[in-house]
Amino acid sequence: MTNVHPQRSPVIDDEILTTDEVCALLKMRKQTLYKRTSNGTGPPFYRVGRHNRWRRSEVLSWFDSLRIEP
């Protein structure tokens, strides 16, 4: 049987994402992401000048933490 999830490159996991890229990855509107970041319920981010940036691995970890177990 082949591996369904091939090994991802550490470079891709630690890729730095813009707001638009995070929204596309999560299929989330900017307004929702802005609201979650301002109230502290969104993925962890870094402030670079006037812009927010995210690490892909941290966004995916945050997303996984939202899973509701049956």
What are the residue boundaries of the structural domains of the chain, listed by start? 17-65
CA distance 10 to 23: 21
For the record, the structure tokens of 44 come out as 């962890």
Residues 6+ apart with CB under 8 A from 15: 55, 56
Over range 2-16, report the average pLDDT.
Answer: 65
Predicted pLDDT of residue 15: 95
Over range 35-54, report the average pLDDT.
Answer: 96
Segment 17-42, tens digit of pLDDT: 999 999 999 999 999 999 999 999 99
Contact indicator for 36, 27 with CB cutoff of 8 Å: no
What amino acid occupies position 19? Answer: T
CA distance 23 to 7: 24
Residue 17 has phi, psi (to 5 degrees) of -110, 145
